[in-house]
Amino acid sequence: MTYIPIDNDVTQLLDEWHQGNKQALDKLTPVVHEELHRLAVQFMQKETDNHTLQATALVNEAFIKLAGIDIKWQDKVHFISMAARIMRNILVDHAKSKNAHKRQTNKNSIEFNDEIYANNSSLEELITIDELLDKLCIFDERASKIVELTLFGGLTQPEISELLQLSISTVERELRIARAWINKHR
Amino acid sequence: MNTTQWRQVKKLFDQTIDLPKSEQSSFLKKNCNDSEIINEVLGLIAAEESNQTVSVKGLNTIVISGAHKLIFQEQGLNPGDQVGAYRIQKLIGQGGMGSVYLANRTDEQFEQNVAIKITHQTIKDSELSVRFAFERQVLGQLEHPYIARIYDAGRTIDEHPYIIMEYVDGENIIDYCNRNQLSLNARITLFNQVCEAVHYSHQKGIIHRDLKPGNILISEIDDKPTPKVIDFGIAQNDFQRNTSDNIQASFSRDNSNNKINHESSVEINTSSKSNEGRLGTPSYMSPEQLASPEAVDIRSDVYAMGVLLYHLISGCMPFKIKSQDLEEVLKIKLSYATPPSIQLLNNKNNQMLAEQRQLNVKSLSKALKIDLDAICVKAIHPEVNSRYSTISALADDLSCYQQNLPVSAVSNQHFYRLTKQFKRNRFQFIAASVFIIGLFAEIITTSYALVQETKAHELAQQESDKASAINQYLQEMFLTADPRKKGKQTKIVDVLSHAEDNIEDSFKNLPVIKASLYSTFGKLRTGLNDYDIAMTLLLKAKALQEQFLGKNHVDTLTTTNLIGEVYASQNELPTALGIFEENLIQTRRYLGNTHRLTMTTINNVAVNNYLQNEDEKNEVAMQKALSMMEELLALRTQVLGEEHAETSHARNNLAYMYGNFNQPQKALKLFKKNLEIQIRVFGEKNYFTLSTRNNIGIQYQDLDQLDEAETYMQASYVGLKEIQGVEHINTLRSAVSYISLLVIKNKIEPAKIIIQEIEKSLEKHPQVWNWFDEKTYQLAKNHLELKE
C-alpha cells in the first residue's frame, strides 16, 4: 500500500471542484479513496479494545490528513460530501465483489445452506441500501443525500443541518421518512 | 412514485405518524382520496415502527459491518505478490485475524498449488523466532494421507508470519456428509479415518487444538470420500497463538466457515487486551482448554472429536453456546452433555436431520441410543479423566459399535476405571458420615435436629436472645415444606431458595446466625446435588465464620468439612482429601478426638483415601484407610453408642472395605449386624436400611448364594422405589444390581420387567448404563430396542 503524503493540492482541488470544475473531482477522488483505505487499515492495526469502525472517524481523519485543518468551511462541506460518497462506493463495490465470490464458490453445491451464508447477509443488505438510495434520489434527492451523509459520512443531524443549511427539524423529518421508505422496500 | 406524489406522501406521513394509531387511517381518509398514497403512507408508518424494534437491523449496523468486512479483506496480500517461492493467486478465506491465499510455485516445471496462511500480526521477538523454527521442523514431520502437509513457514519482509501448506480442495466434513446424505455408518467410517490422522499426530507429540468441521475437509479421491485434516498443530505455542490459531478461515468452498452456523460461530477472544489469545471455536473446545490454553493435552483433542462425532451423527450440538462471555461458556461446558438421541428429539429440525441420514426421526434416535449416546457422552465428559484417554480408544469403541460388539463406554469390561465405577456403584457407600442423601423427609428432620442440637445450642450461648429467632426462622421455612403436609418435593426446593434468599435480610446484623444458616443450607443443597449453590452458600458461611468466630471455631471447621464433602460428591477426590486432612489436624487439636466433627472428619479422610487409592490400586494405602475405619468404628461405638446413626455409617463403610478386600464373610457379618441395628434405629422404609439390604445381596452374590442375594436385592429395590421413586439415582443403583443378579440366575423375563420399569429413568441418568455388566447391558439394550 502506498503512502499518500499530505498533499496541499487537495485544498486547491477542492476549491476548483467547488467552483464547478468536474475534472478536479476526478483527480480528488482516488486520493481520498486511498486515504480512507489506509486509515481503515491503520485503524484496525491499532488493536484497540473496541474494533468498531466508525465511518465518521475515518472521514474526519481523512479530511484532516488531506486538507489540513485550516480550510474554508465551504470546502469542508464539499469534502465531507465527497468523502461520504466515496465511502459509500468503496463499501458497496466491496460488498458486490464479495457477493460475486460467494456465488462462484458456491456453484458446485447442490444444497444451499442458509445458515452458512448468514454472515454475508449484511453485505447483500448493504447493496440493497445502495440501490434504494439511488431510487430515492430520483424523486427526493435531498432526503437521499441526508441518509448518505448520515450512514457513510457519519454526520450527526446538527452537522447535516449546518452543512446543508436546513433546520434540524427538517433534517430529522427527512431522515425519518427516508429511513422508513428504505426499510419498507428493503 | 413521482415527485409530486412523493411530496404528498411526505406531507401526510409527517402529519400522521405522531397521531394515535387508531386515528391514523381515518385522518388519512379525510385528507386524501388517493388510496395508493394512503397505502404508501401507512406502509411507511409501519416500516418506521418496526424499525423501533430491536429485531430489525439498523441501517447503521449494516454499513458498519460492511466496513468491517472491507477492512479484513484489505489487509494482506494481493494476487501476484511473492511469498517464499510461491506466487499468490487469490484470496480463498479470511477471518478475524488473518487470511488464507491460494498460491502456486513459480520456480518449478510443474505447477503445485498451495495454501498460504498469513496473519495480520507481526513477530519481531527473537525468542519467538526460535520457537517458530522449531515448530516448523516438527510440523514438517507430519506425513499422513489424511493430514494436509505443511511445506514451509516463514515471515514476510514486514514480519508477518505465514505457513505454507497443502492446498485441499474439499468441503467441510459436516456439509459433505449432509449434502451426500451419508448414512450413520458411512459417517462413522469417515470419522474413524479422521481419528487415524489425529492419533498419528498424537504419537508424534502434536496436539491439534482446533479440531472442528472447518478443519476437516473431505475431497473425493477415486470416488471415495477422503478426509484431510488441516491446521495441524498450528495452535501449539505462542507463535501460533499469534498466527494461524487466530485465523478462523479455511479453504475453498469452505470459505465461509468462520461463521459456519450459529452453534459453532461464536468466536471468543480473550485477547483484546493482550496477545495471549484463546481464539477458537468454543463449541469444540474442551473446558480445560477454555480455562487455560496451556493446560491442554491429547484429551482436549478427544473432546473436540467427541463434539464433532456428536454433531456428525445427530446433527445437533451438545451445548447451545450463544454467549461470548468466557465464564458463561465455561460454565456450560462444565455440565454434562445431553445424549445425542435425546438432543435430537428436542431439535426442531430433526426431520431434516434424519433425512440427511436416510432415516426417520424415530429410527435415528433409536440408532443413537445407548452405544453412540454413551460414546459421545464419554468423549465430551467435562472431567478430563473420565474421557477416552486416547483418540484410538474412541475409534476402537466406534469400530466395536460398527461390528456389533459391546463398546467400552457402555459395558465395563474393557476399562479398569469403569469396572471400578461399576463395582463402586454396586454398593451404597456412604461417603460422609453425616451426609444426607436425597431423602427429603430425612433431610428436614435430620438437619433440623442437627441445627437444634449443635448449632442452635452453641449459638444460644453466644447470642442467647437471638436463638429463638433462628429457630423460628427454620421452623417457618421447614414446616411449610414438610412433605407430610404438602407432599410435593418440588415445593421444598422452592422453599429452600426462598429461605436462602431471605437470610441476608432476615439476619442483617447477626453475622454468626447468618453464617450458620448459610452453612446449613449449603449442606442441604449438597444433599440435593445442587453443588454450585451449595458451594456458594458454604463459602459465604466460611467467610463470615472466619471473620466473626475465628478459623478454629467449631462452626468454621464444620463448614470447611462440608466444603470438602461438596468436592467429594463431585468426585474431586484429591481436593476433597486435602481439605479433610487439613481439617482433621485442626479438629483434633481444637475439638479433641471424641468430638463428633472430628470423627466425621476421620471418616471422610478414610473414605476418600480409600477411594483415591482404589483408583490407583495402592493396596498399602487402602489397607491403611481400612484400619482407620476400624478405629473410627470403635471410637464411635464408644462415644456415641452402638446404635447411633453415625456409628452405623462407619460400620457400613468398613464392611464395604472388607468386601473389597476379599473378605466377603467378614463383610457379610458386619452388614447383617448393621441391618439389624438400622431396622431398629431408622425403620425398614429408610434409605440407609434399604441400602444395606442391597449391600448384603451383593455379598451373597459374591459368595455364590444367589437365592439369598435375590431376596435382599429385591427388597432393596422395591423399598427404594417406594420411598424415593424409580427415577432416583439410589433406586437405579439398586435396580442395576438386582437386574444383573436376575440375569446371572437366568431369570430373563423378570429382569426384563425391571428394565422396563427403569427405562425412563435411564434416559435421565445415562451414566447408569456404565454400571451394567456386559451381559445385562446387552439384554437391556436389546430389550429396549425390540420394544420400539
pLDDT digits (tens, 9 = 90+) for B755-775: 999 988 888 787 788 788 778
Burial of B327 (0-12, 13-18, 19+ CB in 10 A): exposed
Q: How many angstroms separate the CA atoms of B199 and B206, rounded?
A: 9
Residue B484 has pLDDT above 50, yes or no: no
List of chain A residues whose C-beta atoms are within 8 Å of the C-beta of residue B74: 37, 40-41
Angle subtended at Cα B657 by Cα B656 and Cα B661, rounded to the nearest 5 degrees: 120
C-alpha atoms less than 13 angstroms from C-alpha of B418 in its C-beta half-sphere: 23
pLDDT digits (tens, 9 = 90+) for B443-461: 222 233 333 334 434 433 4
Beta-carbon count within 10 A of B93 CB: 24
Residue B255 has pLDDT above 60, yes or no: no
At the second CATH level, the architecture of A118-186 is Orthogonal Bundle (1.10)
List of chain A residues whose C-beta atoms are within 8 Å of the C-beta of residue B17: 176
* A152 in contact with chain B, both atoms CB, cutoff 8 A: yes
* B51 in contact with chain A, both atoms CB, cutoff 8 A: yes
Confidence band of B137 (pLDDT split at 50, 70, 90): low
- Name the one residue in this structure whose C-alpha cell is 404528498: B8
What percent of chain B stands above pLDDT 70?
72
Interface of B with A in 228-267 (CB under 8 A): 252-253, 255-262, 265
Whether residue B17 and residue A176 make contact (CB cut-off 8 A), yes or no, is yes
Determine the length of chain B.
Answer: 788
Q: How many angstroms separate the CA atoms of B84 and B86, rounded?
A: 5
* Inside any domain, residue B497: no
Q: What DSSP element (H or E) covers B92?
A: strand B86-94
Do B168 and B296 share a domain, yes or no?
Answer: yes
* Inside any domain, residue B443: no
* Domain regions of chain A by residue span: 1-83, 118-186
Angle between helical axes of A55-67 and B59-74 (0-180°, round to 10): 60
Interface of B with A in 80-139 (CB under 8 A): 120
φ, ψ of residue B414 to 5 degrees: the values are -85, -25
Do B22 and B144 share a domain, yes or no?
Answer: no
Do B112 and B24 share a domain, yes or no?
Answer: no
Specify whether the CB–CB gap between B373 and B770 falls below 8 A: no
pLDDT of residue A115: 26
Residue B746 has pLDDT above 80, yes or no: yes
Report the range of poorest mean pLDDT among B58-72, B415-429, B538-552, B699-713: B415-429
State the average pLDDT over residues B26-49.
88
C-alpha cell at B31: 385528507
Do B142 and B7 share a domain, yes or no?
Answer: no
With a cut of 0.90, is the ipTM above it?
no
Nearest chain B alpha carbon to A112 = B179
Specify whether the CB–CB gap between B237 and B206 falls below 8 A: no
pLDDT of residue B470: 53
* Inside any domain, residue B154: yes
pLDDT of residue B602: 92
Residue B516 has pLDDT above 60, yes or no: yes
Do B94 and B49 share a domain, yes or no?
Answer: no
Residue B274 has pLDDT above 50, yes or no: no
Interface of B with A in 169-188 (CB under 8 A): 171, 175, 178-179
Report the range of poorest mean pLDDT among A58-62, B87-91, B202-206: A58-62
Do B26 and B145 share a domain, yes or no?
Answer: no
Q: Provide the mean pLDDT of chain B.
A: 76
β partners of residue B88: B103
Residue B176 has pLDDT above 90, yes or no: yes
Q: Which residue has the higher pLDDT, A49 or B329?
A: B329
pLDDT of residue B769: 81
pLDDT of residue B162: 76
Contacts of B214 (CB under 8 A, 6+ apart): B172, B248, B250, B254, B257, B258, B260, B281
Closest CA to B664 of B402, B426, B459, B341: B426
φ, ψ of residue B408 to 5 degrees: the values are -65, -30
Q: How many angstroms separate the CA atoms of B542 and B511, rounded?
A: 11
Q: How far is CA B625 from CA A15, A31, B610, B620, B654, in A?
A: 93, 82, 5, 9, 9
* Inside any domain, residue B718: no
Specify whether the CB–CB gap between B654 and B673 falls below 8 A: no
Q: How many angstroms separate the CA atoms of B219 and B143, rounded?
A: 18
pLDDT digits (tens, 9 = 90+) for B101-121: 888 876 655 667 888 877 655
Burial of A41 (0-12, 13-18, 19+ CB in 10 A): middle
Q: How far is CA A76 from CA A62, A84, B430, in A?
A: 11, 12, 81
What percent of chain B stands above pLDDT 90?
21
Task: Output b/e per residue, B63-83; b: 16+ Cβ within 10 A.
Answer: bbbbbbbbbbebbbbeeeeeb
Do B222 and B287 share a domain, yes or no?
Answer: yes
Q: What DSSP element (H or E) covers B216?
A: strand B216-221
The three-class DSSP label of residue B632 is helix
pLDDT digits (tens, 9 = 90+) for A99-140: 665 544 433 322 222 222 334 566 788 888 899 999 999 999
pLDDT of residue B615: 73
- Among A53, A117, A119, whose Cβ lies nearest the Cβ of B67? A53
* A176 in contact with chain B, both atoms CB, cutoff 8 A: yes
Specify whether the CB–CB gap between B614 and B635 falls below 8 A: no
Closest CA to B759 of B773, B771, B746, B769: B769
> Which site among A44, A177, A179 would you substitute to test the B interface, given the most B Cβ atoms closer than 10 Å to its Cβ?
A177
- Name the one residue in this structure whose C-alpha cell is 438432543: B343
The three-class DSSP label of residue A153 is coil
Specify whether the CB–CB gap between B205 and B233 falls below 8 A: no
* Inside any domain, residue B394: yes
* Identity of the amino acid at B662: N
Do B22 and B96 share a domain, yes or no?
Answer: no
pLDDT of residue B174: 94
State the average pLDDT over residues B494-506.
72
Q: Looking at the 3D structure of chain B, how many domains does it have?
A: 2
Whether residue B59 and residue A147 make contact (CB cut-off 8 A), yes or no, is yes
pLDDT of residue B430: 45
* Inside any domain, residue B191: yes
* A156 in contact with chain B, both atoms CB, cutoff 8 A: no
List of chain B residues whose C-beta atoms are within 8 Å of the C-beta of residue A151: 59-60, 63
Nearest chain A alpha carbon to B57 = A122
Q: How many angstroms separate the CA atoms of B313 and B81, rounded?
A: 43
β partners of residue B93: B100
pLDDT of residue B107: 65
* Inside any domain, residue B51: yes
pLDDT of residue B493: 62
Do B244 and B304 share a domain, yes or no?
Answer: yes
> Which site among A94, A102, A116 would you substitute to test the B interface, given the most B Cβ atoms closer than 10 Å to its Cβ?
A116
Whether residue A123 and residue B69 make contact (CB cut-off 8 A), yes or no, is yes
* A123 in contact with chain B, both atoms CB, cutoff 8 A: yes
Residue B314 has pLDDT above 90, yes or no: yes
pLDDT of residue B718: 94
* B25 in contact with chain A, both atoms CB, cutoff 8 A: no
pLDDT of residue A108: 34
Residue B483 has pLDDT above 60, yes or no: no
- The alpha-carbon gap from B99 to the nearest alpha carbon of chain A, in Å, equals 14
The DSSP code for A108 is T
Angle between helical axes of B554-569 and B511-527 (0-180°, round to 10): 20
- Name the one residue in this structure whose C-alpha cell is 454400571: B771
Do B94 and B40 share a domain, yes or no?
Answer: no
Residue B437 has pLDDT above 80, yes or no: no
pLDDT of residue B771: 80
Whether residue A139 and residue B260 make contact (CB cut-off 8 A), yes or no, is no
Residues of the domain holding B172: 86-262+280-410
pLDDT of residue B175: 92
Q: How many angstroms separate the CA atoms of B668 and B690, rounded?
A: 15
C-alpha atoms less than 13 angstroms from C-alpha of B50 in its C-beta half-sphere: 18
* B71 in contact with chain A, both atoms CB, cutoff 8 A: yes
Q: How many angstroms separate the CA atoms of B281 and B304, rounded?
A: 10
> Which site among B9, B71, B212 would you substitute to test the A interface, given the most A Cβ atoms closer than 10 Å to its Cβ?
B71
* A102 in contact with chain B, both atoms CB, cutoff 8 A: yes
- The alpha-carbon gap from A91 to the nearest alpha carbon of chain B, in Å, equals 6
Closest CA to B310 of B384, B377, B402: B377
- The alpha-carbon gap from B384 to the nearest alpha carbon of chain A, in Å, equals 32
* A126 in contact with chain B, both atoms CB, cutoff 8 A: yes
Q: How many angstroms separate the CA atoms of B220 and B542, rounded?
A: 62
Angle subtended at Cα B441 by Cα B439 and Cα B443, rounded to the nearest 5 degrees: 65
State the average pLDDT over residues B381-389.
87
* B309 in contact with chain A, both atoms CB, cutoff 8 A: no
State the average pLDDT over residues B622-638.
91
Do B9 and B106 share a domain, yes or no?
Answer: no
Do B133 and B47 share a domain, yes or no?
Answer: no
* Inside any domain, residue B188: yes
* B165 in contact with chain A, both atoms CB, cutoff 8 A: no
Q: Which residue has the higher pLDDT, A114 or A180?
A: A180
Q: CB pairs below 8 Å between A and B: how many?
A: 134
* B217 in contact with chain A, both atoms CB, cutoff 8 A: no
